[in-house]
Amino acid sequence: MVSRVEHPAAGYKKLFESVEELNEPIPAEIKGVIPSWLGGSLLRMGPGLFEIGDEPFHHMFDGQAVIHKFDLKNGQVTYYRKFIRSDTYVRAMTENRVVITEFGTAAYPDPCKNIFSRFFTYFRGIEVTDNCLVNIYPVGEDFYAVTETNYITKVDPDSLETLKKVDLCKYLSVNGVTAHPHIEPDGTVYNIGNCFGKNMSLAYNIVKIPPAQKDKSDPIEKSEVVVQLPSSERLKPSYVHSFGMTDNYFVFVEQPVKINLLKFLSAWSFRGATYMDCFESNSSMGTWFHLATRDPADYMSSHKFRTSAFNIFHCINSYEDQGFIVVDLCTWKGHDFVYNYLYMANVKEEWEEVKKSATRAPQPEVRRYVLPLDIHREEQGKNLVSLSYTTATAVLHSDGTIWLEPEVLFSGPRQAFEFPQINYSRCRGKKYSFAYGLGLNHFIPDRIVKLNVQTKETWVWQEEDSYPSEPLFVPTPGATEEDDGVLLSIVVKPGADRPGSLLVLDAKKLTELARAEVNTMIPVTLHGIYKP
């Protein structure tokens, strides 16, 4: 899977250039044959405006949110996009400047105000961004664009109109939730976020939003906290981007990238402070795994799993097997925060500079950890893992902690398998064979990868000067095999007559079935869904 492709022309810079929204859907030119059963919408979120007036956004996760849609209907394909009308966006457009602090970009008071107005602006409290650029998912019969704060935005998946801003703090004890929930077949949504626990300490709440209600009421109003997990540091919760869920357990990985609460609460009192300024790395804690049962929901405080330090953003899958929980993760070695390397100044550099920056960053690795559920004190010093198909180990120490060592499923120098996807409806929480991911070459997305997590075999789709997005798996109706389906990815090919396209790959062999090309650039997208 290791990419030998170089990018001396630096076409990837086009991924981070501002675009305008479209007045109406535009038709795509189709090459190849789209499967007749594939009808619906690919909805994706990402940044689309990388500066306001003459003020640039500094981090990859700062640009103003755009919702993209490729519609597939009756053999025809159209493409459409609109900016999310968040409060952040509307105010920025009105004042022609950055108004609310983003992940890595600080907002300053309006220079046109007098000095007293500017002074009080600093001390009126934290204004949290509602720039929902990370993902989109269904809640009941509605769809919400999301980021990682307490605000989510209801959108119309057909017209792409912004409908309503929702503050989750009105319904749940959370400071924010991830953009990667787990969704049950009946529509129940589970998510995790940090919160204030007992005695002003920080903790993590796993929350539940019920499915669509018979009385047509809003499921979010019936949201509830199902279980609370403790933080290893009282005032410094870990950054949380995703979590694992099996049939009977929740799996949370507490990483050494920490949010300093005192810095966070004071940051807005200082000129130029951002969310990124509130992160710090704990070089001594390593990484902790926490388990909680689902029914009844209860934290398993007697199971203390620990391993060496790594960054974790995306869980691939977790499942139970013979008294163990198998957890597959996209990791980055060490405690240095990967997001430090995703500033625009880094990713928009010339190719040789991009490569130099990536050599300083944590190195990526796909890992499998195995957590034993049945622990006996007399087994100290022994490997507790008895699964025949993995080399991952778990050793009980005298202090009661269980030290985990992983099996490496993929590793290549500065080559990441990220933005992972599986056949979710069939395999979430189950033993599985295949994961699909976006291949990052020194942080630049330049290939789509299929990984057999049992044999470690890989398949690659790659094309010169082309930059794909996260591949979404769509199963063939009535399929009996796990990888019977297609992968959908937005591909950008700068310099082409039609630089943006929807790519349709055979998920078995990663061969191209079709692509639908449009004569407009499409900026980088992060996550999304396929809506049948």
Average pLDDT per consecutive 10 residues, the chain (532 residues; last block may be shorter):
81 98 98 97 98 97 98 96 98 96 87 45 66 98 97 98 97 95 98 82 94 96 97 93 98 96 71 87 96 98 97 98 98 97 97 96 98 89 97 96 98 96 98 98 98 98 97 98 98 97 98 98 98 96
Binding residues, as ranges, are: 180, 241, 314, 527
Q: Please tell me the distance from the alpha carbon of residue 446 to that of residue 465, in angstroms, as a whole number.
A: 8
Binding residues for Fe cation, as ranges, are: 180, 241, 314, 527
Residue pointed to by tokens 């009192």: 269
The domain locations on the chain are 11-531
Q: Please tell me the distance from the alpha carbon of residue 491 to that of residue 499, in angstroms, as a whole number.
A: 8
- What pLDDT, on the 0 to 100 scale, is given for residue 110? 61
Q: Could you tell me the CA-to-CA distances from 416 to 18, 158, 244, 361, 430 in Å, in that order?
A: 26, 34, 20, 12, 24
Q: Please tell me the distance from the alpha carbon of residue 142 to that of residue 137, in angstroms, as a whole number.
A: 9
- What pLDDT, on the 0 to 100 scale, is given for residue 119? 41
| In contact, 42 and 488? CB cutoff 8 Å | yes
Classify residue 433 by its DSSP letter: S
DSSP assignment string, 25-68: -EE-EEEE---TT--EEEEEEEEEE-EETTEE--BTTTSEEEEE
Report the chain's terminal Cα–Cα distance, integer Å. 31
Q: 0.85 cut: is pTM over it?
A: yes
DSSP-derived 3-state class of residue 151: strand
Residue pointed to by tokens 């013979």: 322
- What pLDDT, on the 0 to 100 scale, is given for residue 122? 44
